[in-house]
Structure 1
Amino acid sequence: MKTTLSRQIIWNFFEGKTTPMQNTLIQEWLADPNSQELYFQWLEEWERDNPQFTPNVEAAYARSLQLVQEIEPQTDDITLTEEPVVRSFVSRFRFVQWVAAACVMLVAGAYLLRNEWYYKRYETGYGEVRTIRLPDNSRVSLNAHSVLTVPRFGFGSGQREVQLTGEAEFAIQHMPDHRRFIVRTPDQLEVQVLGTEFIVYSRERGSKVVLSQGKVQLRQLRDLTAKPVIMLPGDIATLSQEGHFSLRHQQQLPTHQAWKHRRFMFENTSVAEIAYQISEHFGVNVVVSDPALSRRTLGGTFQANSAMSVLQVLADILNVQITQTKQPDPTVDRDSVPTYVLTSLPKSIP
């Protein structure tokens, strides 16, 4: 049967008022990912009501190990006199051992899950677009297949720093003390802002920053000798997978912002690039059968409801045949994805 716990029991746990049996139930309850998210929500509520609390998992773990060492049996001090006394001592000692082991298991589990303690993840699936309001009232729109990691504690009152994998548009709330907002990407690109609107893209083939309002500063942390770069509205900065950096001024931004409205916008975009964007957004494989077709270009705005809806429009415009070569079967392979092959049809003779 699934374990359910009330908020009051968890709050008692934060205050050290729970019994050994309740600690065991809490440990079983935390095995459920949904319970973990509820646990962190209640922890944040309790921390707001008890501002003196600052979680320090490493210190707690060290204290628990010290506790176990302190309760280790000292056999030299035990005198075997009367049997009832020995049994009573052994019973108490085993109980203390059990309590210490439960504490170690709870603290060790918290230590192993410290990233989940400290950070909250916002994630979107393929084809999903999601808008998030951060504690400092900044707004983030996450594109498909993206992850934003935000500190659970002190965000807004202290340093504002997030990590992004994928693509997102940020509308940053300006703070009275001009506190910076920092976005970091896996390829060690750092974006620093005060109050502005911009898009950050960071995937396998590199990173990109599109600035629509305000001013941002970029740094390449894997090259500490490189000078910071200041971007102005209309600028687009790119960092390739190989580490090549470029900055373009006075660019047309709508094509980079269309995904917020669940659309694709192309301007003389190659079929190869369109195929890549469809694969990236919907989590499918799109294969262009020949080089001549991959070099053809296309312009226009297309509604991005599904991979097949976009591909069908391309097929009608470019006289292309779409063949699905792999049917996904989630019951057999959860990672199985459909593959679409684009092939040029022969021109009809009038």
Structure 2
Amino acid sequence: MEHQSESPTLEELALQSSFQQWVRYPTPMLDQYWEMWMQGHPDRITLVNQARELVLSLHFPDDLTLEEVDEEWSKMQYLIQQESTEDVHVYHIERRRSLSFWVSRAAIVTGVLLGIALVYTWMRPLPMLTYKSGYGQVKNVVLPDGSTVVLNAHSSIRLDATWDANKPREVWMDGEAYFSVKHQSNNQRFLVHTPDSMTVEVLGTTFTVLSRATQSRVILNTGKIRLHRRIAGKSEAVVMQPGEQIALKKETKKLEKRMVNPEIYKGFTNNKLIFQNTPLPEIISQLEELYNLEVQTTDSLLLKKEFTGTFPINKPALLLEAITRAYKLQVIKERNRLVLEPVKDTL
């Protein structure tokens, strides 16, 4: 949902696309949002009612094009200039007219300008909301339907500013995120799209999605989801049960299913990195993705090792220290580039 200012003016409130959507085409979700907004801003209820009347009083042809709007705008600018000149002339002749007369004339001009702005706003597509987390940062996001998303570091999601109750709820993501989806009374679908042509379809559940350059996977915590993938013009669908992980192998482009402990993979929601017999190449990938590091090793045997441990997500140095101690390594650091190599024996 679009961010609302604490004390919007009448014009600012009327111009907000989500407000216009609610007034003209209300949905249960929009009703709930604006009711909660007014509960939190009881002093703005009169303003909301005035803005609502303003939006409803403005009627424009459905087939009006942007070119026609531009033409009308040019005409209106000319008329406003003429109006201003006339006002000055009349004012000199009839100085005794009441202040309310001039206020009403100004209100008409303001209303016309606001109407034109509303046309532009209404004819354009609703904006997309984007939420991003930085390197080493975990972010919590509340979606328009009350569902929640926890973004792991260096991740993002995009979604429409408002959701139509008669259409699927859709989110486009990149990186890693944990979703807790609220089931809707009309069984409205919830879709998560990833860059590698995978779509997770749910009704109400909790799950983790990872989509990065080196690996992609979906892990189901609770409920049931259907994973769709489109490849070479063909569609593939797999139904998942709680505790299952489906990973997309980048080399073979095939989906592989196995049972896992979902709690390990959602550790970042509690600001933790949890590893349980995790291959070191996977840990190295996480260091690179989460902290904007380039990690290399001169010991090929090290890439066959596994590691177990739990660490604060905001302290990658503790993880590096534990790995170097466990495998007798030293770290050579050059800015964001780390080289792991065995400690040389000294006589």
Residue 287 to residue 249, structure 1, CA distance change in 2 (3 Å):
closer
- 1:63 & 1:206 partners in 2: Cα distance? 50
- 2:213 & 2:148 partners in 1: Cα distance? 25
How do 1:125-144 and structure 2 match up within 5 A? 125-144=134-153
Residues 1:225 and 2:234 aligned together? yes
Q: Report the RMSD for the aligned CA atoms in angstroms.
A: 4.0
- 2:215 & 2:64 partners in 1: Cα distance? 38
How do 1:144-293 and structure 2 match up within 5 A? 144-156=153-165, 158-242=167-251, 244-293=253-302
Q: Return the offset for 1:191.
A: 0.9
- The alignment's TM-score, normalised by the length of structure 2, stands at 0.68
- 1:196 & 1:280 partners in 2: Cα distance? 27
Aligned pairs, number: 283
In structure 1, what residue type is equivalent to 2:69?
A: S
Cα deviation code 1:278-336 (max 9, x no counterpart): 1111112222222122332222222222332321222222221112112xxxxxxxxxx
Residue 49 to residue 262, structure 1, CA distance change in 2 (3 Å):
same
- 2:61 & 2:174 partners in 1: Cα distance? 27
Cα deviation code 1:114-141 (max 9, x no counterpart): 67x4210111111111121212111111
Cα deviation code 1:180-203 (max 9, x no counterpart): 111111111111111111111111
- 1:225 & 1:126 partners in 2: Cα distance? 36
- What is the percent sequence identity of the aligned residues? 26
Residue 56 to residue 160, structure 1, CA distance change in 2 (3 Å):
farther
How do 1:1-350 and structure 2 match up within 5 A? 7-8=8-9, 10-11=11-12, 14=15, 42-51=16-25, 61-64=66-69, 67=72, 117-156=126-165, 158-242=167-251, 244-326=253-335, 338-347=336-345
* Contact in 2 for aligned 1:135/1:156 (Cα 8 Å): no
Unaligned runs of 5+ in 1: 1-5, 15-41, 72-87, 93-101, 327-337
* Contact in 2 for aligned 1:236/1:251 (Cα 8 Å): yes
Q: Return the offset for 1:7.
A: 3.2
In structure 1, what residue type is equivalent to 2:291?
A: F
- The alignment's TM-score, normalised by the length of structure 1, stands at 0.68
- 1:56 & 1:291 partners in 2: Cα distance? 69
Residue 12 to residue 133, structure 1, CA distance change in 2 (3 Å):
closer
- 1:67 & 1:160 partners in 2: Cα distance? 37
* Contact in 1 for aligned 2:228/2:238 (Cα 8 Å): yes
Q: Return the offset for 1:157.
A: 5.8
Residue 171 to residue 128, structure 1, CA distance change in 2 (3 Å):
same
- Aligned-partner SS, 2:18: helix
* Contact in 1 for aligned 2:144/2:162 (Cα 8 Å): no
- 2:217 & 2:62 partners in 1: Cα distance? 36
- Aligned-partner SS, 1:221: strand
Residue 242 to residue 270, structure 1, CA distance change in 2 (3 Å):
closer
- 1:160 & 1:11 partners in 2: Cα distance? 27
In structure 1, what residue type is equivalent to 2:203?
A: L
- 2:13 & 2:226 partners in 1: Cα distance? 45
Unaligned runs of 5+ in 2: 1-6, 27-54, 77-81, 87-112
- 1:304 & 1:134 partners in 2: Cα distance? 24
Counterpart in 1 of 2:92?
none
Q: Return the offset for 1:273.
A: 2.2
Residue 188 to residue 70, structure 1, CA distance change in 2 (3 Å):
farther
In structure 1, what residue type is equivalent to 2:320?
A: L
In structure 2, what residue type is equivalent to 1:44?
A: S
Residue 221 to residue 292, structure 1, CA distance change in 2 (3 Å):
same
* Contact in 2 for aligned 1:282/1:306 (Cα 8 Å): no
* Contact in 1 for aligned 2:183/2:204 (Cα 8 Å): yes
Cα deviation code 1:17-54 (max 9, x no counterpart): xxxxxxxxxxxxxxxxxxxxxxxxx4424543454879
